[in-house]
């Protein structure tokens, strides 16, 4: 199946069998997945037809024109953008068939159990342990994760844990799918500078994971995690936005609607940031086109860097433009949102929320190293822990 006309025919056939106006949303999404029109480049039986990824736009445009429901990508972004490509590449056929359909339809939300209190920027230093139960073959996991978006609503998690402390830190890590309903999983809200608790701490105590839920080989989890991380940075830095659809939108509207706030200096700075935001938006589009012909590369790190810097500069300028009004804050009541919202609420929220952009999805310092070494080909930073067993590292 590689022909756009054939895909268009299948899409119209789906719409005829399941008219969006009279079909339950969940039923429509399930039917779309089963028809291979969820992600057309995936294999048949897994929501796709083995078609070129570029033809997804043909399906999406026809469904949008017919008013078909979407699968709420913002709510299930971690599953779609990070878990799904990793499961597709490293999961067994049974794992793919079990997880991909409810992941895509949004019946099951996913979170990512990677960062730890002592292993965020240096993720490979993680200390959460997974020990094999030789009697059952299960893995028993103990440890703590942090900065976990959506853990309070997630049914499943992608998890990396140390399975061999005698090896250097980038080895001896294994990658799993973790059941968030296991009695050993405890989720606690982590209140942020905005007052919201969008993130969580997750404590894992004797959590049992069947070996069938392991992705990749034992000890090869760092390699598997690179697939997740590369896709995560594309998902954050390369989000599809219309012109003025991101952080630049609210300040542009304020500028047009509030002429009394304007100054020459603010005008020049806003123009500069508007152009940079547009360049970043178009570069993100190019990055998505790159995905069409292969896997995401380290260039996604550069997009994520630009995203964080621009958001912080634009939100700072918006607060400055609004003057005393920009310093007001609407509500410090703790909320537990299901969505990651970078631009919602008021100028004060956007300013405070943007501070996290340079931490989440890889810190600025880590991403600069990736760009330097993997994109520009500069010499790697000296490392004195490369050949040292993880258990012998200073902490």
Whose tokens are 């919201």? That residue is 196
Euclidean distance between CA atoms 101 and 173, whole angstroms: 28
- Annotated catalytic residue 107: no
Euclidean distance between CA atoms 274 and 140, whole angstroms: 51
Whose tokens are 């025919």? That residue is 9
Identify the helix (H) or strand (E) that includes residue 156.
strand 156-162
- What does the block give as tokens for 351? 């300013």
Taking alpha carbons only, the member of 269, 137, 109, 268 closest to residue 209 is 137
Q: Which residues pair with 203 in a beta bridge?
A: 144, 186
Exposed / middle / buried, residue 2 (Cβ in 10 Å: 0-12, 13-18, 19+): exposed
Whether the CB-CB separation of 390 and 348 falls below 8 Å is answered with no
Q: Measured on CA atoms in the order 279, 284, 288, 294, is the torsion positive or negative?
A: positive
For residue 215, report the phi and psi dihedrals to the nearest 5 degrees.
Answer: -105, 120
SS3 of 235-289: the string is HHHCCCCCCCCCCHHHHHHHHHHCHHHCCHHHHHHHHHHHHHHHHHHHHHHHHHH
Helix 299-322 to helix 264-292 angle (10° resolution) is: 160
User: Strand, coil or helix: what is 178?
Assistant: strand
Euclidean distance between CA atoms 228 and 361, whole angstroms: 11
> Of 196, 232, 299, 318, which one is the catalytic site residue?
232
Whether the CB-CB separation of 144 and 116 falls below 8 Å is answered with yes
Taking alpha carbons only, the member of 50, 113, 47 closest to residue 78 is 113
- What does the block give as tokens for 145? 């994760």
CB atoms within 10 A of CB 383: 10
Active site residues: 232
């Amino acid at each position: 199946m590689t022909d756009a006309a054939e895909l268009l025919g299948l899409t119209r056939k789906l719409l005829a069998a399941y008219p969006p106006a009279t079909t339950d949303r969940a039923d429509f999404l399930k039917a779309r997945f089963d028809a291979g029109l969820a992600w057309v480049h995936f294999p048949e039986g897994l929501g796709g037809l083995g078609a070129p990824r570029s033809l997804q736009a043909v399906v999406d445009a026809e469904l949008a024109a017919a008013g078909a429901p979407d699968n709420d990508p913002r709510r299930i972004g971690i599953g779609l953008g990070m878990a799904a490509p990793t499961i597709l590449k490293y999961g067994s056929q049974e794992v793919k068939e079990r997880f991909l359909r409810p992941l895509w339809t949004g019946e099951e939300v996913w979170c990512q159990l990677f960062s730890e209190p002592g292993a965020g920027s240096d993720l490979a230093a993680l200390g959460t342990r997974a020990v094999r139960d030789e009697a059952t073959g299960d893995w028993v996991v103990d440890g703590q994760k942090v900065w976990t978006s959506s853990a309070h609503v997630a049914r499943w998690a992608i998890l990396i844990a140390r399975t061999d402390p005698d090896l250097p830190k980038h080895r001896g890590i294994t990658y799993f799918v973790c059941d968030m309903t296991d009695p050993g999983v405890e989720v606690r809200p982590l209140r942020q500078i905005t007052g919201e608790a969008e993130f969580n701490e997750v404590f894992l105590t004797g959590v049992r994971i069947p070996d069938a839920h392991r992705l990749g080989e034992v000890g090869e989890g760092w390699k598997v995690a690179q697939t997740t991380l590369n896709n995560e940075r594309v998902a954050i830095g390369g989000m599809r936005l219309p012109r003025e659809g991101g952080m630049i939108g609210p300040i542009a509207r304020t500028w047009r609607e509030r002429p009394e706030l304007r100054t020459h200096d603010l005008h020049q700075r806003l123009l500069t940031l508007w152009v940079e935001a547009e360049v970043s938006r178009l570069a993100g589009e190019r990055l998505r086109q790159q995905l069409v012909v292969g896997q995401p590369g380290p260039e996604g790190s550069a997009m994520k860097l630009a995203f964080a810097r621009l958001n912080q500069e634009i939100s700072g300028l918006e607060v400055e433009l609004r003057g005393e009004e920009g310093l007001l804050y609407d509500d410090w009541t703790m909320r537990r949102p299901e969505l990651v919202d970078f631009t919602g609420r008021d100028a004060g929220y956007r300013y405070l929320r943007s501070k996290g952009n340079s931490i989440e999805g890889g810190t600025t310092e880590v991403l600069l190293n990736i760009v330097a070494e993997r994109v520009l080909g500069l010499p790697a930073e000296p490392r004195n822990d490369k050949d040292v067993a993880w258990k012998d590292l200073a902490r």
